[in-house]
Amino acid sequence: MAAVAEDLNDIPAADQRQGFFQTTMGKRVALGGGIALVVAIMAALWMWSQAPDYKVLFSNYSDRDGGAITASLDQMGVKYKFSEGGSAILVPSEQIHDLRLKLAAQGLPKGGNVGFELMENQKLGVSQFLEQVNYQRSLEGELARSIQSLGSVSAARVHLALPKPSVFVRDQQKPTASVLLNLQPGRALDPGQVSAIVHLVASSVPELTVGNVTVVDQTGNLLSDTSNKAAGNKGLDATQLKYVDQVQQNIIKQVESIIAPLVGKENVRAEATAEVDFAQVDTAAEMYKPNSPPEPQAIRSQQTSESTQPGGGASGVPGALSNQPPGVATAPIDGQPAGANVPAAGGPTRKDATTNFEVDKTIRYEQRPMGGIKRLTVGVVVNYRRSVDPKTGKVTVRPLAAAEVAQINELVKQAMGYSQTRGDTLNVTNAPFNGVDKPDDAPLEVDWWRDPANLPLAKEIGKYLLLFAVLAFLYFRILLPLMRPAIKKFDEATAVPPEPEPETEEEIEAEAVIAEEELEEQEVERRNQGYRANLIMAQELARKDPRIVANVVKAWLGSNE
């Protein structure tokens, strides 16, 4: 009975008491799940690195336009997403230009304004009043779209007040317009841009004057204030001030560009002040002056008359002889004029001569356009000459020679368009600049990893290095150890056994003896296992049906008697 108890203690615990993952099937399931998880993580990381770069397709759109745009993108099968706050629609950067053209062909975004497309779907039987309202809405929408095309304007609304036409002059009213602008954040309109908007609206509506257009921004500021013009303010406006500044900057640029090759770009400074005449003058002059004696006088007209008054009575012999024509004239003797010392046939003679001469007159019409330069004042400062000893690095400075200063003075006069008649002034000064005697500082060398130009490339390289490090860690530290047992079993199953080397007779006999001994040991073991199996079966039978065991024992005892 003691031997039977020892055999029972040697039996291992049942496999059912072990956990699922401690069994062979559980280990295989855990191995497969771990490998799948690691592969999924690696695939997700790779897809994240290859994700498209999203850029803004449209921003600051209305809700109606946003719904229409997203619906069109869904029909085209384009992936999109919204920015934080939903103020912009983002699409892959490589498709942004193509999508904008396709959406523009569909009339998107409309901007919340209805244009002349409202007139395309007119129904039959529409009243004249409704047609007029639709036309006004279309005109307001088209004007708003035109104003929104400006870079500083994000949205615009236009309201038109178009009065009904009247046949009576005293009842006629002029149309008016008001424009509400929503400007981009941080942007503003200068007076020139506001004037352009006013003229755009005024020239788009018949009989609408510039003074009847009002422009207001989103904060309620009146941009089209014409009170100064109505009051007759003669001050310079923004356009004129900008023109003066451009004239001065052009003169400064011309002066510095012509002097820089002589003294260096950093060694010359110039400033200019221009007095510009913005008055538009039309002159008509008519001048008279007497003819000078050497010049011949021009005769306009000349008139001569001669009359002879009759004497005390009739003279001569009456008859035919008195009616005959005068005789042939004879030449004068000794230079005496004809008719001299000749007694008059009748009474006294009177001669009148009238001569009209041309008067010297000059008529001149002169029209001077606005923007002419009345006077220029230019100041130029030139730095001292600077030289550096290449051996010692010592810096020496010296003033320019008088001839050089005179040469610079003449060059500046030519560059600025100097006019003594106009009263222009020029002052060229040669003086040392601050720090001219200091040695040159060596240029700071910036490390390549600190150079801002290399920052985008460094970010891209860092992204792929991080991805490679994570994938390498997952593969070598998690995936490969999990797959090593399976790989080992696969290698063992597919390995080709090496060919045995030829053995000697002694080795063959020794192997035969060993094989016989192993067979004997296996036979003994088999017999022991049969005995143990029979013993275990007898014990189980005794527990389940003791009567059978008792009868067997009685039979053994009876046979022994």
Over residues 124-151, the pLDDT tens digits come to: 777 877 888 888 888 888 898 889 888 8
| Helices 96-105, 63-76: crossing angle, 10 deg rounding | 110
**Tokens in use for 132?**
């007029």
Q: How confident is the model at residue 213 (pLDDT cuts 50, 70, 90)?
A: very high
Q: Which amino acid is at 204?
A: S
Q: How confident is the model at residue 107 (pLDDT cuts 50, 70, 90)?
A: confident
Q: pTM for the whole thing?
A: 0.42
Q: How confident is the model at residue 284 (pLDDT cuts 50, 70, 90)?
A: confident
Query: In the predicted model, what is the mean pLDDT of residues 292-299?
Result: 62
CA distances from 152 to 28, 62, 96, 170, 194 (A): 67, 18, 23, 41, 11
Pick from 107-121, 348-362, 363-377: least confident: 107-121
Q: How many residues does the chain have?
A: 561
- Residue 259: its pLDDT value, please? 93
Strands (E), 249-345: 268-277, 281-289, 299-308
**pLDDT greater at residue 376 or residue 300:** 376
- Residue 368: its pLDDT value, please? 73
For the chain, percent of residues with pLDDT exceeding 90: 16
Structure letter (DSSP) for residue 177: E
Q: Return the closest-CA partner of residue 383 out of 365, 394, 395, 373.
A: 395
pLDDT surpasses 80 at 300: no
- Residue 215: its pLDDT value, please? 93
- Residue 49: its pLDDT value, please? 63
**pLDDT greater at residue 340 or residue 290:** 290
- Residue 499: its pLDDT value, please? 56
pLDDT in tens, 460-498: 788 778 878 887 887 787 777 777 776 676 666 666 555
Query: In the predicted model, what is the mean pLDDT of residues 278-306?
Result: 71
Backbone region of residue 295 per phi and psi (left: phi > 0; alpha: psi in -120 to 50; beta: other values): beta
**pLDDT greater at residue 142 or residue 389:** 142
Query: In the predicted model, what is the mean pLDDT of residues 433-459?
Result: 70
Q: Classify strands 425-430 and 372-382 as parallel, antiparallel or unpaired.
A: parallel
HEC profile for 443-498?
A: CCCCCCCCCHHHHHHHHHHHHHHHHHHHHHHHHHHHHHHHHHHHHHHHHHHHCCCC
pLDDT in tens, 63-79: 777 888 888 888 888 88
pLDDT in tens, 392-435: 778 888 899 999 999 999 999 999 999 999 999 999 999 988 87
- Beta-ladder partners of 268: 382
Provide the mean pLDDT of the chain: 76
b/e map of 104-129 (b: 16 or more CB within 10 Å)? eeeebbbbebbbeeeeeeeeeeeeee
**Tokens in use for 391?**
């051996």
pLDDT in tens, 157-176: 899 998 887 777 677 788 99
- Residue 333: its pLDDT value, please? 47
Q: How many CB atoms lie within 10 A of CB 38?
A: 19
Q: How confident is the model at residue 444 (pLDDT cuts 50, 70, 90)?
A: low
CA distances from 521 to 11, 158, 325, 533 (A): 21, 110, 198, 18
- Residue 11: its pLDDT value, please? 40
| Helices 402-416, 238-263: crossing angle, 10 deg rounding | 150
pLDDT surpasses 50 at 530: yes
Unique residue bearing structure tokens 């110039």: 270
- Residue 233: its pLDDT value, please? 47
Query: Exposed/middle/buried for 242, CB within 10 Å: 0-12, 13-18, 19+?
Result: middle
Q: How confident is the model at residue 9 (pLDDT cuts 50, 70, 90)?
A: very low
pLDDT surpasses 90 at 446: no
CA–centroid distance for 447 within its chain? 32
pLDDT in tens, 312-324: 555 555 555 555 6
Query: In the predicted model, what is the mean pLDDT of residues 441-454?
Result: 67
Top mean-pLDDT range of 18-32, 260-274, 282-296, 386-400: 260-274
Q: Which amino acid is at 269?
A: R
Structure letter (DSSP) for residue 312: S
Pick from 16-20, 386-390, 398-402: least confident: 16-20
Task: For the chain, list the domains and their CATH numbers.
Answer: 33-111 (3.30.70.1530), 116-228 (3.30.300.30), 237-293+357-436 (no CATH)
Return the CA Rg of the chain: 60
pLDDT surpasses 70 at 288: no
Sequence-ordered list of residues with C-beta below 8 angstroms from that of 394, at least 6 positions apart, any chain: 388
**Tokens in use for 324?**
């005959």
Structure letter (DSSP) for residue 58: E
- Residue 357: its pLDDT value, please? 72
- Residue 430: its pLDDT value, please? 92
